[in-house]
Amino acid sequence: MKPAVYADYAATAPLRESAREAMRPWLEREFGNPSAADTYSQLPRHAVREARETIARILGARTDEIYFTSGGTESDNWAVKGRALACHGGRPGHLIISAIEHHAVLEPCAFLERLGWKVTRLCPDREGIIRPETVGAALRPDTALVSVMAANNEIGTVQDIPALAKAAGEAGVAFHTDAVQAMGHIPLRVDPAPVCLLSASAHKFGGPKGIGFLYVRHGTALEPLHHGGGQERGMRAGTENVAGIVGMAAALSESVSEMEHEQVRLEELRERLILSLREAGLDFRINGGAWHLPGSLSLSFAGQDGRMLVYLLDRKGIAVAAGSACNSREIAVSHVLSATGVPDRYIKGTVRITLGRESSGEDVDRIASEIVGLVR
Ligand code: PLP
């Protein structure tokens, strides 16, 4: 059952009605395999093609540059490992990532390090920003990929992706961005910036779980990780998740159409929450900086235990997160908060509040008053 107040949109978002309706025929009646040769498979094949066209149009990409995957984790793994396999004839080389990437990028890099690859982890500034000049300084002749996320899942910091991609592109190095948190929430196109690879996941913008895509710029060398049937033009084997693909395209279209309005509304809600906490005189800091995802708020309360706050809020019917949602059971201090220099007095008292489509002013007031009560 949905909690009374849901403020953990960075973990996942409720399924949009438009996505549910778009998926219904493919779940209930039309079971054809889009890669089969029979006439019955024409309808699902057409639906997958339309979804691919919709996503490509939104991104400013070519239709044949969109590859469907099982979500953000697979897309990130494919970008990092697929790129590594495609370069230097399989011999170990060098990768550049930011120190605040999601584990879906960090872990494939750690895996490659065990195989002899070298990985440079770029440090962000206090607001979580990766400066393009740090990319330029870290490049080596054997660098196969630069990967910097478009928006951070813990502190919401939004990067200057065109500038970062340009820094890599000018040296002829492929650039990947994990856009899982950004897609559908802030404007994102691949045509003005030399982005070669981009990962996205449907459940973060109101689509179903277990479906996502990887954008692969035409001409970018990339090895497939899934071998089998010839689906996705031989690049990602496995029968297509027709309902998921169609639902993802519907959800993305709707998110993009609401984006401008939602950005303003969510920022107002975020400000209202901050104001209430300030008025209560609590000792807290806001992590990240001016460039952040709308409605994303990482707060650290001095001397508090963030996990305990999350637990107690949960018991009051309020869903928020302590660190990154995907590793919220982890005891260790978050690598993102450490890398951005959150002081010791605050770091363990961190709560992540991420607002979204169904968040209201009443939700925000309730969150503020419960936090004030608990912290006091
Ligand atoms: N990348 C980022 C930035 C994320 O926030 C997440 C999930 O929280 C992922 C990747 C993984 O996406 P998925 O849940 O679709 O595997």
Q: Which atom of ligand 1 lies at the shortest distance from residue 209's CA?
A: 15
Tens-place pLDDT, residues 289-348: 999 999 999 999 999 999 999 999 999 999 999 964 444 455 578 999 999 999 999 999
Q: What angle do CA 128, 210, 96 make, to 5 degrees?
A: 35
Cα of 372 from ligand 1 centre, angstroms: 30
Cα 331 to the center of its chain, rounded Å? 22
Nearest CA to ligand 1 atom 14: 72
Please tell me the predicted confidence (pLDDT) of residue 323: 64
Among 101, 100, 119, smallest CA distance to 109 is for 119
How far, in Å, is the centroid of ligand 1 from the Cα of 129?
19
Atom of ligand 1 minimally distant from the CA of 73: 16
**Would the pTM count as exceeding 0.75?**
yes
pLDDT at 325: 43
Q: How far apart are CA 198 and CA 67, in angstroms?
A: 10
Which residues, in sequence order, are bridge partners of residue 285? 300
Q: Which of 324, 375, 366 is nearest to 8 (CA)?
A: 324
Going by C-beta distance under 8 Å and a sequence separation of 6 or more, which residues neighbour residue 318?
A: 3, 4, 5, 7, 366, 367, 370
User: Considering only CA atoms, which of 221, 203, 220 is closest in space to residue 212?
Assistant: 203
Structure-derived torsion over alpha carbons of residues 364, 187, 154, 208, reported in degrees to the nearest 10: 80
Q: Is 149 in the pocket of ligand 1 (CB under 6 A)?
A: yes
- Measure 52 CA to ligand 1 centroid, in angstroms: 21
Among residues 179, 209, 188, which one has the least CA distance to residue 14? 209
| Three-state SS annotation for 166-200 | HHHHCCCCEEEEECCCCCCCCCCCCCCCCCCEEEE
Q: What backbone phi and psi angles, to 5 degrees, belong to 44?
A: -65, -35
Does the CB atom of residue 181 touch ligand 1 within 6 A?
Answer: yes
| Residue numbers of the chain with a pLDDT score lower than 50 | 324-328
Asked whether the beta carbons of 350 and 322 are under 8 A apart, the reply is yes
Ordered domains of the chain (ranges, CATH) = 5-12+259-375 (3.90.1150.10), 17-254 (3.40.640.10)
**3-class secondary structure, 308:** helix
- Residue from 8, 12, 73 whose mutation best tests the ligand 1 pocket (most atoms within 8 A of CB): 73
Residue of 69, 324, 326, 327 best suited for mutating to test ligand 1, as the one with most atoms within 8 Å of CB: 326
Which secondary structure element, helix H or strand E, spans residue 102, and what is its range? none
How far is Cα 57 from Cα 66, in angstroms, rounded to an integer?
A: 10
What would the pLDDT profile of 165-203 be if each residue is shown by its tens digit?
Answer: 999 999 999 999 999 999 999 999 998 889 999 999 999
Which one-letter DSSP state was computed for residue 100?
A: T
From the CA of 74, give the closest atom in ligand 1: 16
**Interval between CA 104 and ligand 1 midpoint (Å):** 7
Those residues with Cβ within 8 angstroms of residue 216's Cβ, 6 or more apart along the chain or in another chain: 65, 67, 196, 197, 222, 235
Contacts of 240 (CB under 8 A, 6+ apart): 33, 34, 35, 44, 48, 68, 231, 232
177 lines ligand 1 (CB under 6 A): no
145 CA to centre of own chain: 18
Q: Is the CB of 178 under 6 A from ligand 1?
A: yes
Task: Give the active site residues.
Answer: 326
Given the CA of residue 325, which atom of ligand 1 is nearest to it?
8
Q: Is the CB of 326 under 6 A from ligand 1?
A: yes
Report long-range pairs for 308-312 (Cβ below 8 Å, ≥24 apart): 309/349, 309/351, 309/371, 309/374, 309/375, 310/351, 312/374
